[in-house]
Structure 1
Amino acid sequence: MKISGTADLPLHGGHVPPWLMERMKSMASAIVKIIVEDYGERELLRRLGDPYWFQSLGCVLGFDWHSSGLTTVVTGALREVLSLEDHGIMAVGGKGGLSRKIPEKISELNLNDNVVRGLVKASRLTAKVDNAVLQDGYQIYHHIIIFTENGDWTVIQQGMNPELRYARRYHWIGEYVESFVVEPHSGIAGSRSEKLVLNMVSRESEEARKASVDLVSENPSKLIRLVNLALNKQETLMAWVEKDVGEKISFPKHLNMPKRIDWRAIRRAYDQRPRNYEELIDVKGLGPSTIRALALISALIYGVKIDWRDPLKFSFAVGGKDGVPYPVSRRTYDKAISFMRQVLEAAELEREEKKLALRRLLNLERRLYG
């Protein structure tokens, strides 16, 4: 399942009232329980990895359909209600420090060592890709991984462009990731399509990925000469890109050839001899500037192709968090939660009633899709 969608995600201020957060968690728990019991843990991961369904879930929970806060609050609710004991699924991560503690949190669980290593790697590489390999002007500030004890996972993370005042959300489904560096996303939801993006995860950037690996196998002193040569060809780069995209463009500053490169990371890569691009980007200290420098040198000096295209659903169920577009009705929300609880109580007694409840949820989902 490869899905790309767009949805405005403006940065909204405001906080979720405690009473609303409790009701969000209550409804999220009810929805999670139905899906896991009737369709299994993997189906829940697939749904959360679908940006359309995730957006509709946020709407059902009462959040603003187009607010960047939907991502952080909905994943926060899921993090609190999901547990390996009750659902066979757990979520860890969040903003800033919470995301950096993911390896520690996963390691504390009673999981198979191979599962732990796989989950930690998935968290690390998904964050690296969306922050440094796909350079679209949005910096990741929120990262959460949702996983089973067998090692199945979904990652949802969000980046921010402070100048545009918009956010962009990235979805990954581990089940469908054949490579972390080749078309790995299940979907990307954002405010707009950018005219120029350094898209090193595109299939069309394959030769640039190979050339980048070859470059770090050279003595770093040679790479220094190539960097200086590339810096003198910035205008050539702009002309080449304009020809490639078929129109005159304003080249974004964040995509220029970097003047500063972490040469310690380059030396580390040279010593480690990565066999492929995935191993290359996993080298410690190899950040956006160095990855971009290697890509641009590959294009400017060796003439390989880079894909500059940007790889990029909704109704309102019961209102919105901060009055955009309209305030939450407590009575409406209470009725929705009460309905979900009644469904669950009946579903625990009769399987057919459980299926009917899920069909109602899916019908609501279709209305949200429009």
Structure 2
Amino acid sequence: LKTMSPEKILTELAVLEPPEIVRPEPEPAAQPLLPNLVMPAHHDVRESDIVMRRLHGNISAAIESGPKDFPELLLVPGVGPRTVRALAMVSEVVHGAPYRFSDPARFSLAHGGKDRHPFPVPLKVYDETISVLKSAVGKARLGRDEELQALRRLDGESRRMERYVTGPSLKEIVAGEMDQSQLLGGRSVFGWEGAQSDDDSDLGAAR
């Protein structure tokens, strides 16, 4: 020690003692992630994007619960089977588990798309769906949750039926939506469906 300078002593000490390891503070436990919807790279809706048995379950539940008793249950007049089908998909989003969202493209078949993919937005169905949900939430706040329970049962019926029902292809479903689009108030960024078809026919006549 007498022959070494203080700097040399510190150097030798550093060789003998390993450097102190500073461990980071443990991070707080992260909150569980919400379900992620992984969308396909293409914009158009294809049958490969959809679990068809689920879609057929939605459609079958709408037919079974259709205009006979579901409007009476909800006490909302004028709710037809097309709106019930949209409500079946909406109720699935409300009550669904993460695994139910493996084919998010399917939910575009509830109310279409503003760019006509997979079909124009049927505004009558869209408005009826909002009306039913507003009514259900409003009454539930007052302690009357019959409508919310009806939506839950509709979701359960869809899941039960998808185990065994079959139905038309996606192409046939979309074609049917396009056929009745004008009747359901179909609209997109291109305008109302009736007006668009008139413009197309005028263009065709001009040609």
Judging by fraction of residues, say which structure has more strand. 1
TM-score (ref. length: structure 2):
0.32
More helix per residue: 1 or 2?
A: 2
- Superposition TM-score, scaled by structure 1 size: 0.21
Larger RCO (alpha carbons 8 Å, 6+ apart): 2
